[in-house]
Amino acid sequence: MKAEILTILKDTDGYVSGQELCERFGVSRTAVWKAMNQLKKEGYEIESVQNKGYHLVKTPDILSKNELVSIRKTKWVGTEICYFDVTDSTNTQAKSLGEGDAPNGTLVVAGKQESGRGRRGRSFESPAGTGIFMTLLLRPEIEPQNASMLTLVSALAVAKGIEHMVDLPVQIKWPNDIVINGKKVCGILTEMSAQMDYVNYIVIGIGINVGNEEFPEEIKDVATSIYLESGKHVNRAMLIEKIWEEFEDYYELYEKTQDLSSLVKEYDSYLVNRGQKVRVLDSKEPYEGKAMGITDRGELIVDTWEARRLVAAGEVSVRGVYGYV
Amino acid sequence: MKAEILTILKDTDGYVSGQELCERFGVSRTAVWKAMNQLKKEGYEIESVQNKGYHLVKTPDILSKNELVSIRKTKWVGTEICYFDVTDSTNTQAKSLGEGDAPNGTLVVAGKQESGRGRRGRSFESPAGTGIFMTLLLRPEIEPQNASMLTLVSALAVAKGIEHMVDLPVQIKWPNDIVINGKKVCGILTEMSAQMDYVNYIVIGIGINVGNEEFPEEIKDVATSIYLESGKHVNRAMLIEKIWEEFEDYYELYEKTQDLSSLVKEYDSYLVNRGQKVRVLDSKEPYEGKAMGITDRGELIVDTWEARRLVAAGEVSVRGVYGYV
C-alpha cells in the first residue's frame, strides 16, 4: 500500500484526501495515517492539512523498494524488485536469483555494496548513499555468442538516462564505461550463465557514481560523479527509472536482430574517442590507430595506417593517446 | 589415510605388512586394524593373515572419495574431489563451488542424482548404483566463444575411456552424446559462467549409464547401458579415472590452439553418422544432407545437394535418416 500511496501523492499536484485513500484501499483512517507517518520517517516531506488531506512537499533522494515501485513506468524491467540497504554485490545476488526461478526483468538494487566487483574480479568502490548499484536479471531467448552486445546496449541506456537528469556531455568509452568530461562515472559488468547453445540467464550490473563529493587521491584523475560534474544532486531512484525506460527501447531494437545494427549510429554518437587516435593494448602487440566507430556486432573499428582492424569487446584495452579516455 | 592404504593394497600383489603401515603413517596397529575394518565395511574384500599382513582380494564396484583418490593417476583433474552419495545435480554443486574459490580441476561425483538435468533443463534419469554422475570444474584461460568446443573434447574422452573398459564399438553422436550400437549411453552438459571476454568458470557434467539392467519402456529403444551392450559389470571408479586421463591429453591439445584442429581426425573417426544421410532439424527449415565430419571449431559439416553447410553445435538437432542416431 505504501508504494501505491506514494504514487498517488506524486501524481497529485494538490492535496489527496485521507478519506479517498481509505476507500481506495479499504482501510481505516488510522491505517492511512500510520502509512503516512512511516513515509515521513523514511524521509518524505508530507504535509497534512485538516479538511484538505495529504500533500507531498518534496521527495528527497531516497532509495527503497517503495520509492522504486512508486515511480516505475517500465513495461517489464523491475516487475520484481529486490532492494538491499547493504549487500555483498548486486551481481552475486542476481546470479543467485538466476539459479532459482526469479523471472526475466527482476531488478536487484542496493544502497551500498560491500564487495562490489568490476571486470575480471577487480574490486569496485561502493560507498553508501552516493551511488547506484543495481543488476538486471535477463532470461533472453538469444544465442550465447550474442550476449556480450548487451553491455553496449546497457551503456547506451545509462548514457541516455543520465542525460535526462543533467545537462552534461555524457560519452561512452568503448565498450562499457560511461565518462563525463573524460572521467569515468559508471561501469557495467555483464555476466552470463550459459549452455552450449542456450543462455540460462544474464545479469547486467551497473554501478554509477551519483552524489560522491570526492574520490580517493589515487583515482580522482580518472573517476568522477554526476554531482562533481554538474553541481546537481540527482535523485537516484528517478535516474534508475530513466535508465530502464531507455533500456527497454534499446533492448527491443537489439532483440529483433540480435545485434546492434539499429543502434550503431546512436552508439557511435556517444563514442568518446571517435575519430581520434587510440592505442589498442592487444595481448600480443599494442598498436595505434584511429577509432572509427563500432560494427553491428559491437566490435570497435580501428583504422591503422596499414589496415582496418576490428577489436572484439574486452579482448583488449583501448586508451586515448591523449589523456585517460 | 584410508585412501593411501587402499592405494598401497592395490599396488601390492602379495601381502602388506601391518607393521609397515604403522611405520609409514606413524600410527598404532589398532589404528591400522580399524582402518581395514572400515574398508571391509565399505565393501572391500580384505584378507588378513597372521605374520603376513593384509591382502586386497577383490575391489567391488565401489564409488567413494577414498576409492577415487586411491586410483587417481591424473595430473590435475580431481586434485580436489567432492563425493556425494546423493545430490541434487553434480552440475549445480560444481557451479556453486565455481562461485566460491574451488580450484581448477575440482571434480564432483555422485552415486545418485535427484534432479539431474540434461540440455535446456530436460530431466535426466539418475538411478543409484548403476551410473556415473560427475562434473568437472574448470577455470580455463580461454575466450568464452571457445568454450562450447569443450563438450566435444569431453565426448572424445568418454568414448576413449569406455573403450579402455570394454570391447565395444563406441561412437559419438555429434555434438555430445555417446552411443553404442545406435543407442545413447552417455550425455554431456557443459555450462559456463562468463563475463564479456572472460570465463569465470566452466562445468562439464557427464552422466553415463553403466550397470543399468533395464530401461523404462518409453526410452528403451534409444537408451542403453555399458552392461546391457557388453554383458560386463564395469568398475565405475576405474572408468572415471580412465575418462579423465584421456581428457587431460585431449584438453592439452585443445588448449594449445583453443580449437579442435588437433582433434578433428580422431573425433571424426568416432562420428556415428559420418558419410551418411542426416536430417538437420533447423529452427527455420529442416534439411537433409550427408554428414562429412566436423570443422576445427566443432561445427558439423553437412553436404546438401546444393551446398556445403556448417551446423553450429546445439543450434539444431541432427538425426540419422535411418534409425535414431
- Helices marked H in chain B — which ranges? 2-11, 18-25, 29-42, 65-71, 90-99, 149-165, 226-230, 236-257, 264-270
Q: CB of A300 within 8 A of CB of A284?
A: no
Domain boundaries, chain B: 2-58, 65-269, 273-320
Give the per-residue pLDDT at A205. 95
Q: Do A194 and B191 count as a contact with CB atoms less than 8 A apart?
A: yes
- Integer Cα distance of B132 and B135 in angstroms: 10
- In three-state secondary structure terms, B221 is coil
- Integer Cα distance of B216 and A67 in angstroms: 54
Q: What is the mean pLDDT of residues B77-101?
A: 93
Q: What are phi and psi of B112, to 5 degrees?
A: -155, 140
pLDDT of B244 higher than 90: yes
Closest residue to A119, CB basis, from B120, B195, B315: B195
- Interacting residues of B275 by C-beta distance below 8 A, sequence separation 6+: B290, B291, B292
Q: Do A148 and B175 count as a contact with CB atoms less than 8 A apart?
A: no
Q: How many Å lie between the alpha carbon of B165 and the closest alpha carbon of chain A? A: 29
Nearest CA in chain B to A176: B196
Q: Do A191 and B191 count as a contact with CB atoms less than 8 A apart?
A: no
Whether A95 contacts chain B with CB within 8 A: yes
- Name which of A137-151, B119-133, B198-212 the model is least confident about: B119-133
Determine the CATH number of domain A273-320: 2.30.30.100
Q: CB of B85 within 8 A of CB of B111?
A: yes
- Integer Cα distance of A320 and A173 in angstroms: 10
- Integer Cα distance of A260 and A149 in angstroms: 7
Number of residues written out for chain B: 325
Q: For the range A13-19, what are the long-range contacts, defined as Cβ-Cβ under 8 Å and sequence gap of 24 or more?
A: A14/A52, A14/A55, A15/A49, A15/A52, A15/A53, A15/A54, A15/A55, A16/A53, A16/A54, A16/A55, A17/A52, A17/A53, A18/A48, A18/A53, A18/A54, A19/A53
Nearest CA in chain A to B98: A193
Q: CB of B125 within 8 A of CB of B236?
A: no
Whether B100 contacts chain A with CB within 8 A: no
- In three-state secondary structure terms, B91 is helix
- Integer Cα distance of A147 and A199 in angstroms: 8
Give the per-residue pLDDT at A117. 63
Q: How many Å lie between the alpha carbon of A150 and the closest alpha carbon of chain B? A: 9
Give the per-residue pLDDT at B119. 54
Query: What is each CA distance from B35 to A265, B85, B222, in whole angstroms?
Result: 72, 20, 44
Q: CB of B87 within 8 A of CB of B25?
A: no
Q: What is the mean pLDDT of residues B225-242?
A: 95
- The three cell numbers of residue B200 are 569465470
Which residue ranges in chain A fall short of pLDDT 70? 116-128, 283, 313-325
Q: What are phi and psi of B298, to 5 degrees?
A: 85, 5
* CA atoms lying within 13 Å on the CB side of residue A41: 7
pLDDT of B130 higher than 90: no
Whether B192 contacts chain A with CB within 8 A: yes
Higher pLDDT, B40 or B136: B136
Express as a percent the part of chain B with pLDDT over 90.
Answer: 56
* CA atoms lying within 13 Å on the CB side of residue A1: 15
- Integer Cα distance of B265 and B272 in angstroms: 14
Determine the CATH number of domain A2-58: 1.10.10.10
ipTM for the complex shown: 0.73
Whether A160 contacts chain B with CB within 8 A: no
Please report, to the nearest 10 degrees, the dihedral formed by the alpha carbons of residues A62, A40, A72, A179 taken in order.
-10
- Interacting residues of B28 by C-beta distance below 8 A, sequence separation 6+: B22
Which residues from chain A sit within 8 angstroms of residue B189, using beta carbons?
195
Nearest CA in chain A to B201: A193
CA angle A182, A311, B198 (to 5 degrees): 90
pLDDT of B323 higher than 50: no
- Integer Cα distance of A134 and A90 in angstroms: 6
Q: How many Å lie between the alpha carbon of B96 and the closest alpha carbon of chain A? A: 10
Q: CB of A62 within 8 A of CB of A42?
A: yes
Whether A189 contacts chain B with CB within 8 A: yes
Q: CB of B212 within 8 A of CB of B130?
A: yes
B89 is in an annotated binding site: yes
| Bridge partner list, B207 | B133, B187
Whether A144 contacts chain B with CB within 8 A: yes
Whether A122 contacts chain B with CB within 8 A: no
Nearest CA in chain B to A314: B197
Q: What are phi and psi of B45, to 5 degrees?
A: -90, 105
Residue type, B69: V
- Integer Cα distance of A84 and A75 in angstroms: 23
Q: How many Å lie between the alpha carbon of A23 and the closest alpha carbon of chain B? A: 47
Whether A141 contacts chain B with CB within 8 A: no
pLDDT of B179-203, one tens digit each? Answer: 999 999 999 999 999 987 789 999 9
Query: What is each CA distance from A240 to A69, A126, B76, in whole angstroms?
Result: 11, 16, 46
State the CATH architecture for A65-269. 2-Layer Sandwich (3.30)
Radius of gyration, CA atoms only, chain B:
22
- Interacting residues of A55 by C-beta distance below 8 A, sequence separation 6+: A9, A12, A14, A15, A16, A46, A47, A48, A49
- The three cell numbers of residue A43 are 524521509
Give the per-residue pLDDT at B325. 40
Query: What is each CA distance from B151 to A245, B97, B156, in whole angstroms?
Result: 39, 20, 9
Q: How many Å lie between the alpha carbon of B325 and the closest alpha carbon of chain A? A: 20
- Interacting residues of A252 by C-beta distance below 8 A, sequence separation 6+: none
Whether A99 contacts chain B with CB within 8 A: yes
Which residues from chain B sit within 8 angstroms of residue A148, using beta carbons?
144, 196-197
Identify the band that residue B125 occupies on the pLDDT scale cut at 50, 70 and 90: low
Q: What is the DSSP string of B102-167?
A: PPTT-EEEES-BSS-B-GGG-B----TTTEEEEEEEE--SS-GGGTTHHHHHHHHHHHHHHHHH--
